[in-house]
Amino acid sequence: MRVSLAGFLAFVLCLGWLSAHPPKGGTSVDNAMDTQLPLKTFRGMQAEAKGCIECHAKKNPGIVADWKMSQHAHAGVSCIDCHGVTKDSPMLTMDGHEGSKVPISVLVSTNTCAKCHEKEVTEFRHSGHVRGAVQIWAKANMRDLMVMVEGRNHPDLKHAPAATGCQQCHGSIIQLNKNHRPTPETWPTYGIGTAFPDGSVGNCASCHSAHKFSLEEARKPAACASCHLGPDHPDIEIYNNSMHGHIFNAEGAKWNFNAAPGTWKVPDFRAPTCATCHMSGNAKSAVTHNVSRRLKWNLFMPLSKLRTGGYETASDDYKYENKITIGNPLAGNPKGPEAARAEMEAGCVDCHNKQHIDNFFIMADKNIMLYNEYWKEAVKMKDELAKKHLLGKDMWADDFQNTMYHMWHHEGRRMRQGGIMGAPDYSHWHGVFEVQQDIRKLRKIYAKRLKTNKIED
Non-local (6+) Cβ contacts of 183 within 8 A are: 3, 7, 11, 175, 176, 177
Position 267 contacts its own copies (CB under 8 A): yes
Min CB(400)–its own copies separation in Å? 14
Q: Return the number of the residue (22 or 182) whose C-beta is nearest its own copies.
A: 182
Position 139 contacts its own copies (CB under 8 A): no
Position 88 contacts its own copies (CB under 8 A): no
Considering only residues 14, 29, 143, 161, which one is a binding residue for its own copies as defined by CB under 8 A?
A: 161
Asked if 216 and 273 count as a contact pair (C-beta separation under 8 A), the reply is no
Considering only residues 126, 220, 289, 307, which one is a binding residue for its own copies as defined by CB under 8 A?
A: 220
Min CB(249)–its own copies separation in Å? 4
Asked if 66 and 212 count as a contact pair (C-beta separation under 8 A), the reply is yes
Cα–Cα distance, 206 to 108 (Å, whole number): 12
Q: Which stretch binds its own copies (CB under 8 A): 19-27, 130-138, 332-340, 436-444?
A: 436-444
Min CB(316)–its own copies separation in Å? 26
Min CB(450)–its own copies separation in Å? 11
Min CB(65)–its own copies separation in Å? 4
Cα–Cα distance, 182 to 333 (Å, whole number): 36
Q: Which amino acid is at 218?
A: A
Considering only residues 12, 55, 142, 149, which one is a binding residue for its own copies as defined by CB under 8 A?
A: 149
Residues 236-265 that bind its own copies (CB under 8 A): 240-243, 245-251, 253, 265
Count the site residues for its own copies by CB under 8 A: 118
Q: Which amino acid is at 455?
A: I
Q: Return the number of the residue (86 or 437) whose C-beta is nearest its own copies.
A: 437
Identify the H or E element spanning 148.
none
Cα–Cα distance, 411 to 414 (Å, whole number): 5
Position 43 contacts its own copies (CB under 8 A): no
Considering only residues 70, 122, 168, 322, which one is a binding residue for its own copies as defined by CB under 8 A?
A: 168
Cα–Cα distance, 165 to 188 (Å, whole number): 12
Position 74 contacts its own copies (CB under 8 A): no
Asked if 215 and 207 count as a contact pair (C-beta separation under 8 A), the reply is no
Min CB(73)–its own copies separation in Å? 13
What is the CB-side half-sphere exposure of residue 282 using CA atoms within 13 A?
Answer: 22
Considering only residues 53, 225, 277, 339, which one is a binding residue for its own copies as defined by CB under 8 A?
A: 225
Phi, psi of 100 (to 5 degrees): -85, 145
Identify the H or E element spanning 104.
strand 100-104
Position 108 contacts its own copies (CB under 8 A): no
Q: Return the number of the residue (85 or 364) whose C-beta is nearest its own copies.
A: 364
- Kindly give the interhelix angle for 433-452 and 399-406, rounded to the nearest 10 degrees: 160
Residues 18-37 that bind its own copies (CB under 8 A): none
Distances (CA, A) of 268 to 52, 256, 260, 392, 410: 38, 5, 11, 55, 35
Buried b (16+ CB within 10 A) or exposed e, 147-184: bebbbeeeeeebbbbbbeebbbbbbbbbbbbeebebbb
Q: In DSSP terms, which residues pair with 298 in a beta bridge?
A: 305
Residues 339-368 that bind its own copies (CB under 8 A): 349-353, 355-356, 358-360, 362-367
Position 231 contacts its own copies (CB under 8 A): yes
Position 39 contacts its own copies (CB under 8 A): no
Query: What is the number of residues in the chain?
Result: 457
Position 66 contacts its own copies (CB under 8 A): yes
Q: Return the number of the residue (320 or 396) whose C-beta is nearest its own copies.
A: 396
Instruction: Decide: helix, strand or coil at residue 176.
Output: strand
Q: Return the number of the residue (39 or 447) whose C-beta is nearest its own copies.
A: 447
Residues 363-422 that bind its own copies (CB under 8 A): 363-367, 369-370, 373-374, 394, 396-397, 402, 418-419, 422
Considering only residues 35, 431, 446, 455, which one is a binding residue for its own copies as defined by CB under 8 A?
A: 431
Residues 285-314 that bind its own copies (CB under 8 A): none
Residues 176-215 that bind its own copies (CB under 8 A): 181-185, 187-188, 190, 209, 212, 214
